[in-house]
Homo-oligomer: A and B are copies of this chain.
Amino acid sequence: MMSRCEQCLIKEFNNLNALSKEELKQISDSKDVHVFKKGEVIFSEGKFVSGVYCIKDGVCKSSQLNANGKEQIVKFTKKGDLIGYQSAITNEANTITVTALSDVAACFIPQELIKKPLDENAKFSTAMFKTVCSDLKEANNAITNISTNTVHQRMADLILFLKDTYGATDAGVIKIQLSRKEIASSVGTATESAIRVLSTFKKDGLIDLTGKSITIIDEEGLKRLAEGI
């Protein structure tokens, strides 16, 4: 039995809830559920996507490679996020690569079925507009953050961001696990530097480290650090 978009709860977390019954029905009839294994690339920089993915379950990273092949993570996404809209809407090649950080299930919605409501449904297009503007705002903040703050500040910032975005257990264990290399690619530093900063944070009683798990011990301390106090 195939699940229907009309009944799907995921859309309450994104702009698809602005669509009409009829529009949702059309999407539901042509959508396709794709499953990606952890580490698998969903779409790549330079390639085209002929639609938009709605993440049903799992987490992803959006990244770019610089001229020397060094990766920079520019965004994290999760359940409910729509990805690939840039390429699908502008008809231009992707400028980012999206990779599954966990096993991911995502519904692929063909381009036309997004573009049509974008033209006809003001509620949906306004919502999408706000989403892109919000992404742009976050990107601008990241530029300022990376170029004016230290690695220590950015690391504290990332840990708090991961907790806020992906949650933590009652004991403070952050629910997403990234490799040290990925942490470094997000903070914008060398892997060794990222490792060293995490060790310092542990030594200073801000966090605890067990394998890839990060436990927040002193959230206020991390906040102060992130703000450079």
Q: Which residues of A contact B (CB under 8 A)?
A: 64-68, 70, 72, 74, 86, 89-90, 95-96, 118-120, 122, 125-126, 128-130, 132-137, 139-149, 188-189, 227-228
* Residue among B74, B122, B133, B149 making CB contact with A132, cutoff 8 Å: B133
Q: A90-B133, A129-B118, A130-B90 are in contact. Are A145 and B66 (CB under 8 A)?
A: yes
How far in angstroms is the closest Cβ of chain B from A90?
Answer: 5
How far in angstroms is the closest Cβ of chain B from A22?
Answer: 18
Q: A122-B119, A125-B118, A136-B132 are in contact. Are A142 and B143 (CB under 8 A)?
A: yes
Q: Is B146 within 8 A of A95, CB to CB?
A: no
Q: Is B140 within 8 A of A96, CB to CB?
A: yes
Q: How far is the CA of A132 from the CA of B118 in the complex (A)?
A: 15
Q: Is A119 within 8 A of B125, CB to CB?
A: yes
* Residue among B68, B130, B140 making CB contact with A228, cutoff 8 Å: B68
Q: How far is the CA of A119 from the CA of B122 in the complex (A)?
A: 5
In the bound complex, residues from chain B placing their C-beta under 8 Å from that of A141 are 64, 95
Oligomeric state, in copies: 2
In the bound complex, residues from chain B placing their C-beta under 8 Å from that of A119 are 122, 125-126
Q: How far is the CA of A163 from the CA of B86 in the complex (A)?
A: 28
Q: How far is the CA of A96 from the CA of B143 in the complex (A)?
A: 12
Q: How far is the CA of A145 from the CA of B142 in the complex (A)?
A: 12
5 extra interface residue pairs, beta carbon distance < 8 Å, beyond A147-B188, A147-B189: A90-B134, A135-B136, A139-B143, A143-B188, A146-B147
Q: How far is the CA of A228 from the CA of B96 in the complex (A)?
A: 21
Q: Could you say which of A126, A133, A141, A228 has the most chain B C-beta atoms within 10 Å of its C-beta?
A: A133
In the bound complex, residues from chain B placing their C-beta under 8 Å from that of A136 are 86, 132, 135-136, 139
Q: Is A90 within 8 A of B144, CB to CB?
A: no
